[in-house]
Structure 1
Amino acid sequence: MPDGDNMNRILILAPAVVAVACSVAAQPPAPGAPAPVPLFSDGVIKSFTPADNPITDAKAKLGDMIFDEKRISTDNAIACNTCHSPRNGFTTHTETSRGVGDQLGKRNAPSILNAMFYKSMFWDGRAETLEEQATLPILNPIEMGQKDPTDVVAKLAAIPEFVEAFQQVFGHPVNWADMGKALAAFERTRLSTEAPFDRYLHGDEKALNASQRRGWALFTGKARCGTCHTYDAALPLFGDNRFHNTGAAAQKQDYNQLAARAARTAAAGSQAEKDKLALETDFSELGRFLTTQKKEDIGAFKTPFLRDVLLTGPYMHDGSLETLWDVVGFFNKGGERNPFLDAEMKPLGLSENEVDDLVNFLGALTSDRFGDLRAAELDRQRTAFLYRRAVQHQTANRGR
């Protein structure tokens, strides 16, 4: 039986968890609020924008229209923003995403915030550009379910506002290639803005509290987060644009057997077939290997940027870690052992207080325009984590 303290803790925490079970929604800034301070200069944005698809207001607006349009799915029920909701940090706050016919995929929907700065798209990098990435979900059987681009074009071409917008932006009728360009242009406008961490670096010592400052020291030191989530003052995204096996999926599969089967299946596969393997089969857990067929890429997934990470849980490629406390705890133990584990994955020896400090620092990477949400979401995640830990302790005590 659990002792009295454990039981009391569970009884106290349970109502709080019910009250904050859902992640806090990221609302637009209130009218009259100060304008967000850009994090990236116009020059930086231009340098990461392809010359054949410059961003214009009209093109980004058209991309936004397509992004919100449910009629591009087979059942007229799924839009891009279904899985990448602006209210949820451009993700879903669910482990994995549901598509047409309520089908459940294998991957967590990554946020599109700052996606323009990735060198390749999706968790496994199977798309090289945003233009390519933007249209693949439309043709995936369990996402939007369309079988052919011509079907999608025909649906949009029957909607007068899209006919007019395509003519205005591109000078010709609705077509598949320009759909991808418009969506990509819109996604390139979805960027994080200045956060408390940036104001601290610019000399505002009060922008971070003592716990967050200790967390920053841990991030660059004992916790070794910067090994993969690198900080570059010129492009301060906290990511290395590389792929790593952290062991997040190692408990689910025998990597060697899975890789042998996948190599036979994916070797001659088209892009659409690889997309299907990544989202519909157990081969999803092989990560980057599905694209490269290189043994060293087995179980490796892309390092996500950490800007606004507080708003985009649950975490990891499969959404298996609910809170940032779970994420730091996972890395604190050195990930999950497997034959292909990244060499940098080692136990960190962080104390509970140090874990708290590190999570508090990660919260300081939340854009100031979401400032009202920062404390609420930290509290929600902390409460959920503590409640689950209390239940686990109770279960363990019962088994003694």
Structure 2
Amino acid sequence: MMRIFKSLIGVAIVLIAGCDASPPAITDDPELNERLESLITLEGQRRLDNFVLPESDDFARIPQDPRNPLTSEKIRLGQLLFHDPTLSQSPLYESSRGTYSCATCHHAKAGFQAGRQQSIGDGGSGWGERGEARRPDPRYPLFDVDTPPLRSPSVLNTAYQRVMQWSGGAGANGPNDETTGFWSDKGVTRVNHLGYDGLETQAILAMNSHRMDNASTSVVATNSEYQALWNQVFPGEPVSDEKVGLAIGAYERTIMASQAPFQRWLKGETNAMTSQEKRGALVFFGPSACSDCHTGPALSSMAFYALGMKDMAGPDVFNSPPEQLGRGEFLTTGTSDYKFKVPQLYNMIDSPFLGHGGTFKSIREVVDYYHRGIPEQNLPPGTVTDQFKPLVLTPDDLSDLTVFLTTALRDPDLGRYVPSSVPSGGCIPANDAQARIDLGCN
């Protein structure tokens, strides 16, 4: 009732002001707010707070790995390391040393995704506006370019994911508690033995997977700014890839889309969303059943489903990625084949390549795919998840849902998570010659 009371006061103020001037468009609607609040809370059975993302400095509310507690100094160190191309110390060719970083494939302007269908790390060149112009460096043999076979998932809100990667293979806990018999010293599970949660595991894993290991040979070991931070965070510890991964994982835990309109509405700013966005939220939490899988603060979950979406393919895809088995990549029982982790949904519009293969080029394409409920791939009988079936939504429902996913879930200021510079002096988020020109670093 307090939310509705505030809404009525706001409407009254607008009407009074309208006596002397044309009133702004009113996006508040007490009846719509009441319907939406009732739907999200299941008529009072749960709280709106269940969906609120914490601010990045609210450590008490951010999920943490108990073996890697958050501190301001560790987060600052991780922020610099995440964006600094100095970590690219193990490229296949010397020409690429110091030219790429974690942020090359997960940068703020693309919603902490890559900005293109297939990310390119070592052996990449150029940038464009938000990574869309990055291409294989012609000096590199194409098969040596670091081009992963799956779309680079967003780092946003990943504190709410106990395991990482589309297969969920990175991480020792949560859904992987009982999978230890499938871990090996190769592939996605190869550092799970360290016992960390997904974000920390993924960060450590990426150091090797993306040719950024040997941090001890980078300027992190000699630069005065890095050394001052390092000694605060890891006193008496030498620079190592594991510790670098822990700092990066800590930073990633704080990257929250907490200023998105839907988040502001949840916190009581009832006019933060337009009426159409609110109608779209009613569809999301209602007849579309989206929230059955996409739930909690990040609108994600630790569930895995086979939806028959296509693997990565297209003119901007290199090195012919093989068939992807999802969770079946390491759980080799056959029952997990083609099942992929439920992703978070914020800032999707910033990098319009969706699905595990990045084959959907707009949010509306994904909405229509779920509405049709017909798999694109011809998977073995009984593989497609039972919940994936045609929906009964009106054209207005589909339009409203698309608007909610596009604009109500977009945080407009992810740049607040990016440092103004890095100690190495490298260009953020890529440092090769063409990227430096594109980004104005020369």
TM-score in terms of structure 1 length: 0.67
Greater than 6 Å deviation, 4+ residue runs: none
Work out whether 1:91 is the aligned partner of 2:140: no
Matched, 1:57 2:76: no
Counterpart in 2 of 1:348?
A: 391
CA contact (8 A) 2:113 2:351 kept: yes
Do the aligned partners of 1:163 and 1:174 also contact (CA within 8 Å) in 2? no
**What amino acid does structure 2 have at the position aligned with 1:134?**
A
Q: Is the 8 A contact 1:69 1:79 kept in 2?
A: yes
Deviation at 1:209, TM superposition (A): 2.7
The answer on 1:189 being equivalent to 2:267 is: no
Give the equivalent residue in structure 2 for 1:5: none
Residue 166 of structure 1 corresponds to which residue in structure 2? 230
1:70 aligned to 2:70? no
Contact kept? 2:312, 2:357, Cα under 8 Å = no
Residues 23-42 of structure 1: CA distance to partner in whole angstroms, max 9, x if unpaired? xxxxxxxxxxxxxxx83273
Aligned to 1:248: 309
Q: Give the C-alpha shift of residue 217 in structure 1.
A: 2.0
Q: What's the offset of the Cα at 1:65?
A: 1.7
Among 38, 45, 61, the residue aligned to 2:61: 45
Cα pair 1:249 1:285 within 8 Å, conserved: no
Question: Which of these residues, 310, 315, 339, is aligned with residue 300 of structure 1?
Answer: 339
Answer yes or no: is the 8 Å Cα contact 1:111–1:312 preserved in 2.
no
Aligned counterparts of 1:44 and 1:244: Cα–Cα separation in 2: 32
From the superposition, tell whether residues 227 and 158 of structure 1 become closer, same or farther in structure 2 (CA, over 3 Å): closer
Equivalent position amino acid for 2:216 in 1: V
Shift of 1:370: 6.7
The 5 A counterparts of 1:161-240 are 161=224, 162-172=226-236, 173-202=238-267, 204-230=269-295, 232=296, 236-240=297-301
The alpha carbon displacement at 1:238 in A equals: 1.5
Inter-partner Cα distance in structure 2 for 1:186 and 1:335: 39
Q: Following the alignment from structure 2 to structure 1, what is the Cα–Cα distance between the partners of residues 269 and 223?
A: 51
Q: Identity, % of aligned pairs? A: 29
Q: 1:297 to 1:160 in 2, by over 3 A?
A: same
CA distance in 1, matches of 2:286, 2:277: 14
**What amino acid does structure 2 have at the position aligned with 1:56?**
T
Q: Does the aligned pair in 2 maintain the 1:156–1:163 contact within 8 Å?
A: no
Find the aligned partners of 2:218 and 2:243 in 1 and give their Cα distance. 15
Please say if 1:359 is aligned against 2:402.
Answer: yes
Structure 2 segments unaligned to the other structure (5+ residues): 1-51, 124-135, 137-144, 172-197, 416-442
Deviation of 1:200 (Å): 3.6
Give yes or no for contact 2:307–2:339 (8 Å, CA) kept in 1.
yes
Q: 5+ unaligned residues in a row in structure 1: which ranges?
A: 1-37, 253-278, 372-400
Partners of 1:321 and 1:359 in 2: CA distance: 14
Equivalent position SS for 2:364: helix
Residues of 2 paired with 1:125 and 1:295: CA distance? 16
Task: Using the TM superposition, give the Cα deviation of residue 174 of structure 1 relative to its aligned residue in structure 2, in angstroms.
Answer: 1.0
Q: CA deviation at 1:299?
A: 0.9
Paired with 1:200 and 1:136, the residues of 2 have a C-alpha distance of 37
Q: 1:107 aligns with which of 133, 150, 154?
A: 150
Kept in 2: contact 1:123–1:287 (CA 8 A): yes
Q: Retained in 1: the 8 A contact 2:305–2:342?
A: yes
Residue by residue over 1:144-163, the C-alpha shift from the partner in whole angstroms, topping out at 9 and shown as x without a partner, is x35xx4x3322345532333
| Larger fraction in helix | 1
Question: Deviation at 1:194?
Answer: 3.8
Residue identity opposite 2:170 in structure 1: A
Quick check: 1:131–1:180 contact (8 Å CA) kept in 2? yes
Find the counterpart in structure 1 of residue 169 from structure 2. 126
Deviation at 1:100, TM superposition (A): 1.2
What's 1:152 paired with?
A: 215
**1:379-399 CA-partner distances (Å, limit 9, x unpaired):** xxxxxxxxxxxxxxxxxxxxx
Report the Cα distance in structure 1 between the residues aligned to 2:328 and 2:320, rounded to whole angstroms.
Answer: 14
Aligned length: 297
Report Cα offsets for 1:130-150 as digits up to 9, x if no partner: 11100222212xx3x35xx4x
> Which deviates more from structure 2 when the two are superposed, residues 119-128 or residues 204-213?
204-213
Aligned partner of 1:153: which letter? S
Look up the equivalent residue of 1:170 and give its one-letter code: F
Q: Distance in 1 between matches of 2:202 and 2:302?
A: 16
Q: How does 1:389-400 map to 2 (within 5 A)?
A: none
CA-based RMSD of the aligned residues comes to 2.7
